[in-house]
Structure formats: structure tokens, C-alpha cells
A and B are shown apart, each in its own frame.
Chain A
Amino acid sequence: MQFLTPGFLWLGLAGLIPVLLYLFRRRSKRINVSTLAFFKTLAREHQESAWLRRIKKWLSFALTLLVLAAAVIALGRPVFRVGEAGQFSTVVILLDRSASMELRDTEGETRLAAAQRILTERLRSVREEVGIALVVYDDRPEIVMPRSRNRRELLSRLGEIEVRPIAGNAAGAMDAAVTLAGLETPSEIWHFSDQLFRESGGRTTDSTDGEEADGSGSESSLPGEIRLRERSLALEGATNVGLTAFQLRPVPLAHGQYDAYVQVSLNASAPSPVSARLTVHVGGLPSQFREIDLAPGEHVGLTFRIAGARDQVLRLAIEYEGDEFALDNQVMMPLPEPKSLVVAWIRSNESEDPYTRLALAAMQEKGSLDLLKGPPEAWPLDVPVDAVVLDGWLPENWPDDVPVIAINPPSASGPIAASALRSSIPYDAVRVGNDSHPILFRVSSGRVAITRTTVFETADSLEPLWIAGSDPVLAAGEYRGQRVVVMGFSPGLSERLPLTAAFPLLMGNALLWCVEEARGDSGSRGQYSTGEFVDVTGDSIRWREWREGEIRERRVSLRSNTIELDRIGVWETGGGEKGTAHLLSAIESDIPGGAGIPGESEYFESSASVAGSLRIWLLAVLAIVLVIESFLFHRLAVY
């Protein structure tokens, strides 16, 4: 038996008080009276023999000591410890509050609430002198309470923790916990998460960071005086269908058209395949439906085109009747405002390529491009542009502050080492280096014939997209953070061209790809993951969230210019910044359903129940003794 609060045992010295009072008790006053006749008529007179009175006095004294002893022992909080060393001086509670902890069991209790309940019970059987720290984590750890012995405050703070719709990252949190645990050893780390389970091979998988670690191995990586205890809160057989990826981008050269990509996943521990329904809403009206069959652990990607006006809210919802986790079922995003690009086309008037002019003019006519034309003498530009097209000319000083599309570069500059051919070389076909590159989106590369006019070499970071012969004729990539596209062919000389039709598309893709990073003009502009920090202005932020079947607005005051996105929905600040925050986490959506770690569950639950706190029994003894004493002294009137 151990005492959780042994400091109270010093109160046992108070037992000396009744002993002294008993030893030096005031004897009953003996008083001679003329007659007892009148006293005998009083109701509370007693005719007890001396021995009975003596026994009652001893009994009273013993009851007093018993009550005192029971009270002191109860205050000392005795417990029987079963199978626990219990000789640690620090406990660091590492508690997962990521989105998946919102999962509810059949009784409606969330995983976080279950962890709070188990911890509250378990903490009752921790000795008072043990310091306890509380670390919670989602994307990043937060030390809610440093090492302290103040149980009341700890429990209060523990109870205030709420699930946040943010993906979890246990690795960083574990580092913080180990640091805290190492401050005063021996210590234990109690890790509570739904992402912990032991596979049949006896390994503990921390699926948060996707790394597997042996259960004992994770402990062995810890300092010797720190012990890791992990409590899995996963539910058996949970089913979750969720959206795990999403991207939206304007269709090049198509006004009001957007291409959306969405990935739908079913968690690996789902007991059976499911058939879910994806609904697309634009501006509050349903526009598309898709039925998706998913096997456990399967991810399905879908692409579809959406038509809508700017600022209309696009909402994608995945629906499945048996879905148990709702935070990943919705994606909302306002359709981005198409903004016209400002592009400078530097070329000599004599060598202006008609196809290039045609492609740029087509975009200009659709209102998606403001084209500035000028000769090389106009360089450097005195107006800001989104991208520059250097056609048949390269400046000596490479422009490093603007994306560049170099067509037929005649010389070397920056990342490009080029040399113009005296005579052009036609090629009937090109090999594609990377078919999935955005520049080649919807470009029919297999039917293209080109005429090479320049031979170039590029820096390693530029990726060959088309290769004619052994050399690239189209390359794209980033050079020191700057997007660069190099074309070593002349569209005007490529007479047999299906390129005639493909080149405007290629040019448009190249321009959009070049500027999407710098301008944020792609569909991902303003798209954030929950838990990210964003710099904002203004004094408030307006959130639009999907709740209970409708979009609800909520305005929150801003306390600083940097906010953490801790909600799922569309936001807009008073300063004009706007964006959308999504969970979109394959880890969080992959709700685990494995068995808990053997032994660890008992460690946390037996301490509360089987450990057998004596407190209840002592309080019962106390109550019984008081009842007996009350009966003797009031009912039987023992004095």
C-alpha cells in the first residue's frame, strides 16, 4: 500500500490530542446533594453500573482514535498498486488533440473525452509529490502546463482541451515531451492518441509521421530514466470516407472555367468496402454528383470541370451513411477571381513570330492577358510585369525577379546556355520528358512536329519536357526560385504543325505556370491547411463554415496580425485577405482501428479500478463509526 499524499500523515500526530485529553480528562464533578429524589425525575438520568460506564468511556476513546486514524489515512489517499513500479518523479502527459480525436464511440464520447476521462482517473492514483506536465499537440506541440504538482489546475486545464480540426504531428511533440521528462528523472511519458496501435509483428506504428518504430525500440531511443507509456484510443471497426486532397485551377484561356481535382479515401481499417457519393455545389446549388466505390485503404482521384463566377463558393461533400468522422467530409472554396496577366513580349520587330503573336493575341482577346510589346532596346522594363517572353533575344544581365519564357534563345544568359543554329532542323516527333507537367496539360505532345532553331543546355533544375533527337527543345523548371521555360524551336518554322493548334495552349500553360507561384493565381491561391499561420490585416476575420446542413458565418476579433487557421471553412479578414482552410490530411482521415498496445491499457485503467483505492473504504468506515458513535451517544445516551 502506498500513500498518494503522505504529507497528510503528519496529521496523525493530532491523535495525541484525544490521548492527552483522555489522560488528563476532567473527571466528573462529585457533588453532594440533600436528596436525589428530584434528579431521579429527570428524563436523562442513568442507572449504569460502573463497569458499563468504564467500557463506554473506553469505547468512546477508541472510537475517537479510530475516526481520527481513518480520516488521516483517507487524507493520505492510500492505494494498492498492482504491477506498477510507480517510482517516478515526473509524468509528462502527451495528448493528441488532432482532428481524428473527434471520433465518437457508440456512447457519443470523443476520443479526446475518453483520454481526459482515463487520465483524470489515473491521476488520482499518482502520488502528490510527482510533478506532472501536460503537452498537447496537433500540427505542433503546445505545453499547456509545465511540470507542476498542482493537481487541481492540471485537471482544470486538462478538461479545457478541445479537439482542433488540424492534422497531428506526434514526432515534434514527442521531442518536447522527452525534453520535459528529462528535466527531472526518473520520469514517464504518457502518450494518449488514437494513432497508436500494435501490429501483429509486435511493432508500434506511429502513423502520424508514417514511420514505424518498434515498441520497445521507441523506448530504447529514450534516455534510460524515461519510460514511454502509450495508450491507444482507436476504435475497432470505424469507417471513414473523407476528402484527402483537393486542387482547383482556372482552365487556361477559358473564362469562368475551373478544373478541380479531388481525392477521396476510405480508411484502411474499415471493415468493408463502401459506396460513397460526392456532391459538388457551386453557389449553393448542386451541380454534379459522383458515385464512388472504395475499398478499405483505397484512394480515388477525380477530376472534373466546374463553371462558375468569381466569389461563388464551391463546396464538395462526400456522403456515406456509415461515416463516423465528419471533419473531412467537406471542402469549401470561393472560386478565384480570374485576373489578367501582364506579360512583356521582347522581340525584334523583324523577327516577330506570327504564331507566338497569335497565341498571345488569343489570350489578350479573352481578357486574360495584357500584352506589352517592345524591342530589346526597351530592356530593362520600367513597368512591373507578371512574366516576360524573351523571343530570339536574351539580356546580358539575367532578370532574376520575373518569370521568363525564352523562345529561341540565341546566346547564354542566366540558367540558359544556348546557341542559335545556322540552319534549322525539323523533327517529326518529340519525346515527352514529363507528361504530367502542367505546361503540357491537354497538349497533344504525341502528334507534334517541330523545327529546332536553337541548341541549349540548362541548369539541372530545369526539366526537359520535349526532347528532339538527343537534346531538349522544351524545358521548364525553377532557377533560384524563378520559373523559367525555354523553347528551342520556332513555331513559325514548324510548318506541319499540329503545333499550330497546340502552341497557344502550350503558351498559355507556360504563362500560367510561370506566374502561378509569383502571383498566386492558381486555384491553390488562398488555400491553406488548418493549423497554418497566416499574416493578415484588419481587426476581425469572418468565417464561413459548413454546420448542420448550411453555411454559417461567424466573425472573430483579431488579436494580432498573425493568426492560426484553426477552423475548416472560408475566411476573409477586414483587411481584405481571404482564403480557405481545409483538413485534407490522409493521416487524419485514415482512422485507425487496430487493437491497443498490450499491457498499456491495463496500466492506465487498472490503476483506477483494480488498484483499489482505500479511500472509499476508509470513508465508509468513518461513516459507520460516526453512526455507531451517534447511536451510542444519542440513542443510548452514553456519557
Chain B
Amino acid sequence: MSEPSHIAPEEDLFDAEFLERLRALSLRLKKRKQLRRKGLQSTPATGFTREFKDFRHYTARDDYRSIDWRLFARLDRLFIRLYEEIQEFHVHVVVDTSASMAEPFPEKRSVALKLAVALAYMGLIGQHRVSLYSFGERVGDPLPPLKGQGHLQRVLDFARELRFGGTTNLESCFASFQPSRQRYGVIFLISDLYGRHVEEAHEAIRHAVTWPGEVHFIQVFHPREEKPELDGEIELIDVETAERRRLWFTPRDRRRYEARYEAFLREIESTCQSRQIDYQRWRTDRAFDEMFLDLLSRGSALASNQ
């Protein structure tokens, strides 16, 4: 098993240029018509603000102080007044920090971190509460919810300090990741979704249904994971488990591998669709800006709250 890795100083992913590009992306989102609302927004729940929302019949368990006595006088029936409950919108960004995200293709780690920071940035400038999580063998300690652009530096620091290594336990992590209902919002999960076996990913996805909010799966993979450039006698080493396999890799094997990998991606996509989870493939050789705008343009609540 390889040593956990983190971003080296020389490969600063979040330089000024990247942040400028994030602001530009934010402006491009603002120009879209449907993206005008910002800040607090009502939720389906009722609360105790002064904004009247509706009436409904009184029941025994309701607070009698909310009975509208004027209506009782007119209609001789008990009604209570409902007021809108205004909640803060939460953005949860969950990053896979297993070894497979950093080796042998560090591009996956770069993309994952850039994407996490970009999503967090969008949340912060939208005055949402932003939380960052990491997971591998288990879900790591999250960055506490932050609000306001002033916390961008903390987000960046958190991202820089993330250690990539260890194994992946999708089943356990997805089951244990349960933000409270009070933190309802948008959940972005950034991972290659490689489990201990091929079927683990789509078995683990069923746990995501119970997550409080709109869930987006972003599957990051390298082109050579999709089409490996292997040939002849090779010894393969799993970067997470250090398990070794020796085999003679032929063009026929390569074709079978590619077919199997494509089937894996389709199975994930199909599983997500069936559970109303947004799913996007993110190949690391694609342009980041295009992919990011495409992600937010797919009807994400984060985008609609800008």
C-alpha cells in the first residue's frame, strides 16, 4: 500500500489564475436568466418567521397560539396560520481520497480537488453553508460548515491538507455518510467509484437515496483507465491493496477490458438514473471549465440559487 500523498507545494492547484477562472465561471452563471435568486430561500417546512404562508385546519397537536381567532369568529371553525420557515442552503462536497484517486494518475486527484474547491467557491459566493468531506476506508472529519467568501482560504487550506491513500470502502462510507436534516441541500460526491470489487459501487449507491438533498455523483477517471495501453507480460499492482497480478496482456484482453469498463460505467449511470441521482462522467483529459459549466447546467440547485 502506498504512502498517503497530498499536494506538493510546487503543484499549487489553487493559484490566483484558478480563482480568477472561478469568478469568471460565476459571472457566466449569473447571466443565465434562471439563475437570479440568491441567499435565503423558503423550504417546504413551516417555521416561525413573520412571512404568512397559508392556513390549515387546527389539530390537537398544533400550537393553540397560532389559531386565527378572527376566522373562528367569522366561520366558526378553527384555523391556524402558517408562516414560512427560512433555512440556510447547505452545499456538501464529498471527495474520495483513496489511493486510486492519486495513483497512478495524479490527474484524478487534481481534478477532484479543483472541482471540490470550485463547488465550494460557488457555494460560498452564493451565501450558502459549505461543508467539505473526505472518504476512503471511512468518512473523514469534515470541514465545518462555512458561509461567506471570507472562508475561501479555509476551504483551500482544507483541500491542500487532504491526504490521498488507503483503500476504498464504498459500502461503509456511503452508509455512514448521513448529514442531518437541518443541513438539507446539495451533495456532490467526487470519486472514481472503484470499490473492492466491480459491483460494490452500484450496491453502495442505494445508500445515497437517503441522503438529505439533491445528490450529484461525479465519477472521475483517467483515459488510460478506460483504454489501458498495456501489452505483453505485465505485473499489475493495485495501488490501494498492493495486491499483484501477473498476466500476459493481449490485444484481445485489451478489448475485453475496455468492454468491461464501459459496462461498469453504464451500470453506475443506470443505477443513478433509477434512483434519481444526477451522474456525470468526468474524464481527466476534458477541459475543466466546460465540464464544470455542464455540471451546473444540468439543473443543479446550486446553480439555480445563484
User: Interface residues, chain A, CB within 8 Å of chain B?
Assistant: 26, 28-42, 44-48, 53, 639
Contacts and interface: CB of A to CB of B under 8 A. Distances in A.
Given A29-B234, A31-B235, A45-B247, A38 B103 contact: no
A53 B247 contact: no
Nearest to A53: B246
A41 B260 contact: yes
B296 interface: no
Given A35-B100, A36-B245, A46-B247, A41 B198 contact: yes
Given A29-B234, A34-B100, 16 more contacts: A28-B235, A28-B246, A29-B235, A31-B104, A32-B239, A33-B225, A33-B236, A34-B104, A34-B105, A34-B225, A35-B238, A36-B238, A36-B241, A36-B243, A37-B195, A45-B247
A29 B260 CA distance: 23
B238 A38 contact: no
A31 B236 CA distance: 5
A33 B104 contact: yes
24 contacts: A28-B235, A29-B233, A31-B234, A32-B103, A32-B104, A33-B237, A34-B103, A34-B105, A34-B238, A34-B240, A35-B194, A35-B195, A36-B238, A36-B241, A36-B245, A37-B194, A38-B264, A39-B245, A39-B247, A39-B257, A41-B260, A45-B247, A46-B245, A639-B246
A326 B195 CA distance: 95
B230 interface: yes
B286 interface: no
B198 A38 contact: yes
B215 to A, nearest CB: 23
Contact of A46 (B232, B246, B264): B246
A49 to B, nearest CB: 11
Nearest to A29: B234
A35 B240 contact: yes
Nearest to A41: B260
Contacts of B225: 33-34
A33 B238 contact: yes
Contacts of B48: none
B56 interface: no
A40 to B, nearest CB: 7
A7 to B, nearest CB: 37
Nearest to B108: A34
B171 interface: no
B260 A38 contact: yes
Nearest to B234: A29
Best-buried of A35, A46, A47 by chain B (most CB within 10 Å): A35
B21 interface: no
B261 interface: yes
A637 to B, nearest CB: 8
Contacts of A34: 100, 103-105, 108, 192, 194, 222, 225, 238-240
B247 A639 contact: yes
A32 B238 CA distance: 6
B245 A44 contact: no
Given A29-B234, A34-B100, A35-B240, A44 B248 contact: yes
Contacts of B108: 34
A36 B194 CA distance: 10
With a 10 A CB-CB cut-off, give which of B108, B232, B247, B261 has the most chain A CB atoms.
Answer: B247
A341 B238 CA distance: 121
A48 B192 CA distance: 29
Contacts of A45: 245, 247
A36 B260 CA distance: 12
A42 B236 CA distance: 13
A46 B108 CA distance: 29
Contacts of A42: 247, 253, 256-257
A170 B194 CA distance: 94
Interface string B244-279: 011110000100110011001000000000000000
Contacts of B232: 29
A40 B198 CA distance: 10
Contacts of B245: 36, 39-40, 45-47
B276 to A, nearest CB: 27
Contacts of A40: 245
A30 B247 CA distance: 11
B228 to A, nearest CB: 8
A257 B290 CA distance: 129
A249 B192 CA distance: 120
Interface in B160-199: 192, 194-198
Contacts of B103: 32, 34
Nearest to B99: A34
Contacts of B256: 42
B243 A639 contact: no
A51 to B, nearest CB: 13
A48 B248 CA distance: 13
Nearest to B237: A32
A37 B261 CA distance: 10
Contacts of A639: 233, 246-248
Interface in B85-104: 100, 103-104
Query: What 3 pairs between A and B have smallest CB-CB spacing?
Result: A34-B100, A32-B104, A35-B194
A35 B201 CA distance: 13
Contact of B196 (A29, A37, A39): A37
A28 B240 contact: no
A639 B261 CA distance: 25
B167 to A, nearest CB: 10
Nearest to B201: A37
A31 B247 contact: no
Contacts of A28: 233-235, 246
Contacts of B238: 33-36
A35 B101 CA distance: 10
A639 B248 CA distance: 7
Interface string B205-248: 00000000000000000100100101011111111110101111
Nearest to A639: B248
